[in-house]
Structure 1
Amino acid sequence: MTHPAFRFGPALLFCPADRPDRFAKAAERADAVILDLEDAVADDAKHSARVALLTTTIDPERVIVRVNPASSPHLDDDLAMLAQTPYRTVMLAKCEGTADLVGLADYEVIALCETARGVLAAGEIADLPNVSALMWGAEDLVASLGGSSSRFDDGRYRDVARHARSQVRLATAANGIAAIDAVHLDIGDVDGLRAEVDDAAALGFAATACIHPSQVAIVREGYRPEPERLEWARAVLDAAAASEAGVFAFRGVMVDAPVLRQAEAIIRRAG
């Protein structure tokens, strides 16, 4: 099955859809901007946020619009507005199954699996042909469990959040689509964000969502391969192209197909 190619860079920046004065600046600072009609906008401001999207246009190739959940009374109005704009990439909040995507066939969809139902349905959602990526979210997930905190006091995710992250990553890999890592809410915790981004890049996530412009540079740095790793990846792929063997030695290490796929991933991150 062919899915839309995930075409955005690694740093995706959320911007409230009722703040059109910030749209262009957010798009300039990040690889793509997520114009948020859901959590960032109060119910009584939803209409004005839709009007802002209609009247303030930025490059649609660098815009994702987060719409309200299928279970909410707001999605129909969101989609009626979107049909009048050039934006065709939608992030569906709190996606809980394939039925939630009915009505979104004309859009490239990034499904946000951030509830217990959504995480358990991640594989089926990722299989839909117009889905290009899944993102997971910790805070709504824990709320859906009746819990109160996604992290331990030292900043580490609790096991259920780590499981959800892994479930979403496995579902995306199994279906050949991209995975987006969750936001890091503690803006001042630069070291914590850097560690999570490094881990996300090592596990093949395509991007990390940001809630503040100061996080963008850290995310980009984390996804950019170190020069020595990039040199190794290019060299080992060149050696593979010149070798007739399926398995060969390179710089004292045995190289096989999984190692070559890892090298290809490093090249993609550099690009």
Structure 2
Amino acid sequence: MTAPPPLTWLYAPGDRPRVVAKALASGADVVVIDLEDAVAPDRKAYARAACAELLCDPQPVPVHVRVNVLAGPWGEADLAAVAPAGGLTGLAGLRLPKVSSPADVVRVARRTVPARGGGAPGLYALLETALGIERAHDVATAHPALRGISIGEEDLRTDLGVHDDAGLDWSRSRVVVAARAAGLAPPTQSVHPDIRDLDGLRASCARGRALGFLGRAAVHPRQLPVIACAYLPTQEEIERAETVVKAAAGEQGAQALPDGRFVDAAVVTAARRVLSLARLR
């Protein structure tokens, strides 16, 4: 049976080991140790060293690291510390900020993927500029080590000069389509920065789910239950999916259910996806 996809990705600043430890015990599906935006310049070296020390050992949940952009002064040192040639036991993935071309992904892959391909962390590209969005599919197919793409919405909002949240919907859909076309998992939503606005987070997750996203990054543990609940199917959705799958068992071609719903192969596939997520309830 295929493992269910992660729904919650919790960021923790790399220069605060106690916060990282709390994140690892928070119930998040994935913990992302941040060496980029959450860490001040004079704390970069400490964050890098603390992160590398932690990842020498296995961790209770998958741990990803968001490194600094390679074109800047810290990115290369981040890779050397947290993704050395031999790999670190506790590292599951690398999140690459401000990716704007396939070459950005390939450059990291050449540094982190062994010649024989085994034991390398998965790569995840963050698209945070107009150019990155325009090249979404090219980025998504840049290298076999790439496991996912997603949007860094705050930087993209600034780059585009967008003031209304709906102004990002085209970019969001572009990335969802690119990920699917490349055979990658659905993108996760970007963080909701107001940790007190749980109603706004809930509504935003509903919008993201409608657009085709699956799961979301968080910046505080209190956001995790809201995200998980928003992305898990409701009991009604589960029951409808069970009805579809049961009706389709052993049947060929399209058919109509007693309640008037039309069932074909695409509808059955969607129903099975719902039941797969239902295992997480």
Moved more, 82-91 or 167-176: 82-91
Contact preservation (8 Å) 2:101, 2:138: yes
Correspondence 1:66 to 2:29: no
Correspondence 1:132 to 2:135: no
Letter in 1 for 2:249: A
Contact preservation (8 Å) 1:70, 1:95: no
Gaps of 5+ in 1: none
CA distance in 1, matches of 2:24, 2:61: 10
CA distance in 2, matches of 1:108, 1:201: 24
Letter in 1 for 2:77: D
CA distance in 2, matches of 1:229, 1:183: 26
CA distance in 2, matches of 1:123, 1:66: 21
Shift in Å, 1:6 = 9.1
Note the 1:4-19 alignment, pairs <5 A.
8-19=5-16
Query: TM-score w.r.t. structure 2 length?
Result: 0.85
Q: Percent identity?
A: 37
Residue in 2 that maps onto 1:177: 184
Residue in 2 that maps onto 1:262: 270
**Count of equivalent residues:** 258
Shift in Å, 1:166 = 1.2
The one-character-per-residue Cα deviations of 1:116-144 (angstroms, maximum 9, x if unpaired) are: 11111111111132111111022111322
Contact preservation (8 Å) 1:6, 1:132: no
Contact preservation (8 Å) 1:66, 1:92: yes
In structure 2, relative to structure 1, the CA distance for the partners of 1:151 and 1:269 (3 Å cut) is: farther
Letter in 1 for 2:173: S
Residue in 2 that maps onto 1:81: 81
Correspondence 1:226 to 2:234: yes
CA RMSD, 1 decimal: 2.0
Letter in 2 for 1:216: L
Question: After the TM superposition, which segments of 4 or more aligned residues of structure 1 sit over 6 Å from their partners?
Answer: none
Query: TM-score w.r.t. structure 1 length?
Result: 0.88
The one-character-per-residue Cα deviations of 1:230-262 (angstroms, maximum 9, x if unpaired) are: 122122112212212x10112321111221222
Residue in 1 that maps onto 2:47: 49
The one-character-per-residue Cα deviations of 1:71-110 (angstroms, maximum 9, x if unpaired) are: 2121110110012632141000111111112132523111
Contact preservation (8 Å) 1:14, 1:34: yes
Contact preservation (8 Å) 1:181, 1:200: yes
Contact preservation (8 Å) 2:136, 2:174: yes
Partner SS state of residue 249, structure 2: helix
CA distance in 1, matches of 2:3, 2:103: 22
Gaps of 5+ in 2: 114-120
CA distance in 2, matches of 1:40, 1:221: 27
Shift in Å, 1:56 = 2.3
CA distance in 1, matches of 2:123, 2:239: 35
